[in-house]
Structure 1
Amino acid sequence: MASIPLRLRDHSYDVLIGPGVRTSLPEVVGRLGAGRAVVVSARPREWVPDTGVETLLLPARDGERDKTLATVEALCREFVRFGLTRSDVVVSCGGGTTTDVVGLAAALHHRGVPVVHLPTTLLAQVDAGVGGKTAVNLPEGKNLVGTYWQPSAVLCDTDYLTTLPRRELLNGYGEIARCHFIGAPDLRSLPRAEQIAASVRLKARVVQADERDAGLRHILNYGHTLGHALEKATGFALRHGEGVAVGTVFAGRLAGALGRIGRARVAEHHDVVRSYGLPTAVPSEAGTADLVRLMRHDKKAAGGLTFVLDGPHGAELVHDVPSDVVTHVLTGMPRAPLAALVAADAPPAGRASVATTDPARS
């Protein structure tokens, strides 16, 4: 088991990573002094650990279509019916969309109830469940309504990953692949648990330095500007990690077109993403003009098109990238039908699968 501390000025917690760490939940709830708990779970009841206190279990569904203000309202109304107070705790058990929605509901109910995350997908364990960002979508774009609400603990039980279909595992590697370009060492040859721990250590280091996206934390959105646009343009048929993977390849090409990096580094973006078995081409169903329009709604944008791009001093936020350059690079990206880009959603061999979609992150 790995224990990674995340220490902030006003709040600190630990991220536990390893098999069976979900059984630590009663101890965590006890340390918080919570009298009761609401567990919001997108996983079967048998995968939800005991909290050690009186508990209301609410079903949830992972997926962008339920990542809405209506879902947050429905959860908060259940909290009220249960009589949840700020002396109690909310627990999420699911993928990144679940941690986002439940985190936001916990932040809003009584202006803040403690929350503990049990991320159950690879993407949620390496990114969405850690760092305190919560958000839901609007019809106009992804993650446009949210706030920061740090969890009181994050329990990344790697046993959950044995239940994931192949495509969902690959989805998580989209976030791991982008770590290569924002300060992580080469993670490709490491065992999965070590890849998770390295990704979480990187994120913890960045969040500790910049909790609320004032500067450095923007690097965590590497590949996300196009990635989010691709998710929206395909009606979320392309999942979050898949979109980030394509967005990472695009970010390399765009940085090259702007003279920020050389050809070898541009090629490295493609090679790293491809080595994880992730897509590197833009779905042919997504039109260039629509993608550029969607990227203008990205929450990092302060007016013009804004991207996190590699450069001589590493990854950094670049504002007002000329739209003609963006269009030119995007037009030059390889294209393929969506069905040809994604892995078959087959269950893991020898295991019963848990149906899940986790196209989650900011």
Structure 2
Amino acid sequence: MLIGPGVRHRLAEQVARTGARRAVVVSARPAGWTPDPGVPHLVLSAEDGEAGKTLSVVERYCRRFAQFGLSRTDVVVAVGGGSTTDTAGLAAALYHRGVPVIHLPTTLLAQVDASVGGKTGANLPEGKNLVGAYWQPRAVLCDTDYLATLSAAELRSGYGEIARCHFIGAGDLRGRSHTEQIAASVRRKAELVSADERESSGRRHLLNYGHTLGHALEVGTGFTLRHGEAVAIGTVFAGRLAGHLGRITPERVAEHAEVVAHYGLSGRLPSGVDPAALLALMRRDKKATTGLTFVLDGPRGARRSPTYPSPRSPPCWPRCRAPSPRAEV
């Protein structure tokens, strides 16, 4: 894992370490921002965004791998946001039953979360990330130069994941530099993934803090809410639910809203969202078994909650009108 300005230029070094003789570079960035892997290669264009995170895109990548003659000793390089690293990573996991992959995440969201941990995935109309595989990258190069090219909205989406990290043991990252925020977020994720790579023991579930409602909001709004924006709302809701269940104090509940607001994010449900539809989507979440499952804060820190079986809305459901950049739920 390399973090800092200009680390994309070390791609050829990382490719050489895999022993690959050829590469396919799946890139959502312009040519000037897509580094040379140092071996004969094919560049496939990708389009960042959840709309392109489909199985048809994964199939297209795999077919181009085959046409190029990529072998299982070669390498796939993903250059882009989380949707690009997810789909290219899934294609790498499936093609020849697994070829090495290297990620160059180019958004703050991807650098703090999506590109690390070994999860790959694609969406279905029925829900987010319902198809995927665990496939660890050989290297991740987080070049902070890419962040200067991002819109304010794209940066806010990354801040949503950083805000969530506040409540899963990464510490208070407010006021820290991007490099420090990325390093702390990745360090905490690495600790959890190394202890529970495939979510078998429950430790890795902490990374889903705020995501049960967050994923439902993404799908329920047709992905007009960015991932980090949706996770921010889910994080505030997780605080409210934990407070309602007596797991945390009112002050800790308020801290959830304060941290999210610090990063310029809303903690309120957008207008026009049907709570019943969100509940149905949450029950399709990949963590759900017999009901709704949340990761909630508590006296010993965040833990996976017992199943919430009621078909009704949780009593602390945030019923708000329109989102406001700094409003509490």
User: TM-score normalized by structure 2?
Assistant: 0.97
Q: Deviations over 1:114-153 (max 9, x none)?
A: 0000000000000000010001011100000001000000
AA aligned opposite 1:334:
C
Task: Work out which of the residue numbers 81, 104, 110 in structure 2 matches 1:95.
Answer: 81
Counterpart residue identity of residue 200, structure 1 = V
* Distance across 2 between alignment mates of 1:112 and 1:283: 40
1:302, 1:319 within 8 Å by CA — same for their partners in 2?
A: no
Whole-Å Cα distance in 2 between the matches of residues 300 and 29 of structure 1? 35
Q: Which residue of 1 aligns with 2:128?
A: 142
Residue 226 of structure 1: how far off its partner (Å)? 0.4
SS at match of 1:156: strand
| 1:268-287 Cα distance to aligned partner (Å, 9 max, x none) | 10001001111111001211
The equivalent of 1:345 in structure 2 is none
1:26 aligns with 2:12: yes
Residue matched to 1:321: 308
Counterpart of 2:248 in structure 1 is 261
The whole-number CA distance in structure 2 between the counterparts of 1:319 and 1:185 is 25
Counterpart of 2:104?
118
Instruction: Map 1:277-288; keep pairs closer than 5 Å.
Output: 277-288=264-275
Q: CA deviation at 1:316?
A: 1.0
Structure 2 equivalent of residue 75 of structure 1:
61
Amino acid at match of 1:18: G
Structure 1: gaps (5+ residues):
1-14, 343-362
Q: Give the distance between the partners of 1:333 and 1:311, measured in 2 at CA.
A: 24
Which residue pairs with 1:296 in the alignment? 283
Deviation of 1:192 after TM superposition, in Å, equals: 1.3
- 1:57-106 per-position Cα deviation (integer Å, ceiling 9, x unaligned): 00000111111111000000000000000110000000000000000000
Q: Distance in 2 between matches of 1:334 and 1:271?
A: 17
Aligned partner letter, 1:228: H
Deviations 1:33-69 (A, max 9, x none): 1000000000101100011100100000011111111
- SS of the counterpart of 2:316? helix
The structural deviation recorded for 1:334 is: 3.0
The amino acid that maps onto 1:306 is: T
1:151 matched to 2:137? The reply is yes
Identity of aligned residues (%): 67
Structure 2 letter corresponding to 1:174: G
Which residue number in structure 2 is paired with residue 241 of structure 1? 228
**SS of 1:136 mapped into structure 2:** strand
Alignment deviations for residues 213-247 of structure 1 (CA, whole Å, 9 cap, x no partner) = 11100000000000001101110000000000000
Q: SS where residue 156 of structure 2 aligns?
A: helix
Q: Is the 8 A contact 1:304 1:320 kept in 2?
A: yes
Aligned to 1:231: 218
For these two proteins, the number of residue pairs brought into alignment is: 325
Aligned equivalents of 2:5, 2:312: Cα separation in 1: 46
Return the letter of the residue paired with 2:222: G
Distance 1:199 1:213 in 2: 18
**Structure 1: distance between partners of 2:280 and 2:194:** 33
Distance in 2 separating the partners of 1:244 and 1:128: 13
Would you say the 8 A contact 1:131–1:207 is kept in 2?
Answer: yes
Contact 1:309 1:317 in 2 (8 A): yes
Instruction: After TM superposition, give the deviation of residue 328 of structure 1 in Å.
Output: 2.2
Q: CA RMSD in A?
A: 1.2
Structure-2 separation of matches of 1:225 and 1:204 = 21
User: Offset of 1:155 from its aligned partner?
Assistant: 0.2
Q: Please report the TM-score for the alignment, with normalisation by the length of structure 1.
A: 0.88
The answer to which structure, 1 or 2, has the higher relative contact order (CA under 8 A, 6+ apart) is: 1
